[in-house]
Amino acid sequence: MRKLLSGNEAIARGAYEAGVTIGTGYPGTPSTEILENLARYSPEVYCEWSPNEKVAFEVAAGASLAGARSIVTMKHVGLNVAADPLMTLSYISVEGGFVACVADDPGMHSSQNEQDTRNYARFARVPLFEPADSQEAKDLLMLALSVSEEFKTPAILRSTTRVSHSRSLVELGERAGGNKIGFVKNPPRFVPIPVWGRPMRQRVEERLKELQALSEKSPANRIEWRSKGLGIITSSIAYQYAREVWPDASVLKLGFSYPFPDALIREFAQGVDRLLVVEELDPFIEEHVKALRISCQGRDFVPGIMELSVDRLLQSRRLMEGREAIRKEEDPYRELLPPRPPVLCPGCPHRGVFYALSREDVVVTGDIGCYSLGAFQPLDRMDSILCMGAGVSMAHGMEKAGEKRKVVGVVGDSTFFHSGITGLLDIVYNKGHSTIIVLDNRTTAMTGHQDHPGTGRTISGEPTVAVSIEDIGRACGIKRVRTIDPYQLDDAREAIKEELAALEPSLIVSRAPCPLRERRRVGAMRTILAEECRACELCLSLGCPAIEGVDGVMKINQTLCAGCGLCEQICPAGAIVSREGV
Provide the 3-class DSSP secondary structure of residue 288: helix
Q: What is the C-alpha separation between 104 and 111, in angstroms, rounded?
A: 9
- Burial profile 363-391: b = 16 or more Cβ within 10 angstroms, e = fewer: bbbbbbbbbbbbbbeebebbbbbebbbbb
Q: Is 1 exposed, middle or buried, given 0-12, 13-18 or 19+ CB atoms closer than 10 A?
A: exposed
Q: Helix and strand tally (H, E) in the chain?
A: 22, 22
E-assigned strand segments in 345-405: 362-365
Give, for all 582 residues of the chain, the pLDDT tens digit. 999 999 999 999 999 999 999 999 999 999 999 999 999 999 999 999 999 999 999 999 999 999 999 999 999 999 999 999 999 999 999 999 999 999 999 999 999 999 999 999 999 999 999 999 999 999 999 999 999 999 999 999 999 999 999 999 999 999 999 899 999 999 999 999 999 999 999 999 999 999 999 999 999 999 999 999 999 999 999 999 999 999 999 999 999 999 999 999 999 999 999 999 999 999 999 999 999 999 999 999 999 999 999 999 999 999 999 888 777 766 777 777 777 778 899 999 999 999 999 999 999 999 998 899 999 999 999 999 999 999 999 999 999 999 999 999 999 999 999 999 999 999 999 999 999 999 999 999 889 899 999 999 999 999 999 999 999 999 999 999 999 999 999 999 999 999 999 999 999 999 999 999 998 999 999 999 999 999 999 999 999 999 998 888 899 999 999 999 999 999 999 999 998 754
Cis preceding linkage at 51, omega within 30: no
Q: What is the C-alpha separation between 398 and 244, in angstroms, rounded?
A: 51
367 in Cβ contact with 410 (< 8 Å): yes
508 in Cβ contact with 364 (< 8 Å): no
Provide the 8-state DSSP code for 280: S
CA distances from 533 to 362, 549, 554, 564 (A): 31, 12, 8, 19
**Which helix (DSSP H) or strand (DSSP E) does residue 159 occupy?**
strand 155-160
Which of 415, 466, 447 shows the shortest CA–CA distance to 517?
Answer: 447
* Dihedral, CA of residue 12, residue 16, residue 22 and residue 23, to nearest 10: 0
Q: What is the C-alpha separation between 570 and 582, in angstroms, rounded?
A: 19
Q: What is the C-alpha separation between 174 and 1, in angstroms, rounded?
A: 10
CA distances from 573 to 352, 429, 530 (A): 19, 48, 11
**Which helix (DSSP H) or strand (DSSP E) does residue 156 occupy?**
strand 155-160
Residue type, position 246, single letter: W
- Burial profile 289-326: b = 16 or more Cβ within 10 angstroms, e = fewer: beeeebebbbeebbebeebbeeeebbbbbeebeeeeee
Which of 298, 9, 402 shows the shortest CA–CA distance to 169?
Answer: 9
Q: What is the C-alpha separation between 44 and 24, in angstroms, rounded?
A: 14
* Other Cβ atoms closer than 10 A to 521: 14
Which of 465, 406, 405 shows the shortest CA–CA distance to 437?
Answer: 406
Phi-psi region of 400 (alpha: psi -120 to 50; beta: other; left: phi over 0): alpha
> What sign results for the dihedral spanned by CA atoms 59, 65, 70, 76?
positive
State the alpha helices, DSSP H only, in 453-553: 469-476, 489-501, 515-518
* Other Cβ atoms closer than 10 A to 190: 16
Rounded to the nearest 5°, which phi and psi values hold at 192? Answer: -85, 50
Q: What is the C-alpha separation between 357 and 239, in angstroms, rounded?
A: 48
Q: State the SS3 of 68-98.
A: CCEEEEEEHHHHHHCHHHHHHHHHHCCCCCE
Those residues whose C-beta lies under 8 Å from the C-beta of residue 265, and which sit 6 or more positions away, are 233, 252, 288, 289, 292, 294
Residues in the chain: 582
Residue 329 has a pLDDT of: 66
- Burial profile 113-140: b = 16 or more Cβ within 10 angstroms, e = fewer: ebbbbbebbeebbbbbbbbbbbbbbbbb
* Other Cβ atoms closer than 10 A to 187: 10
Provide the 8-state DSSP code for 470: H
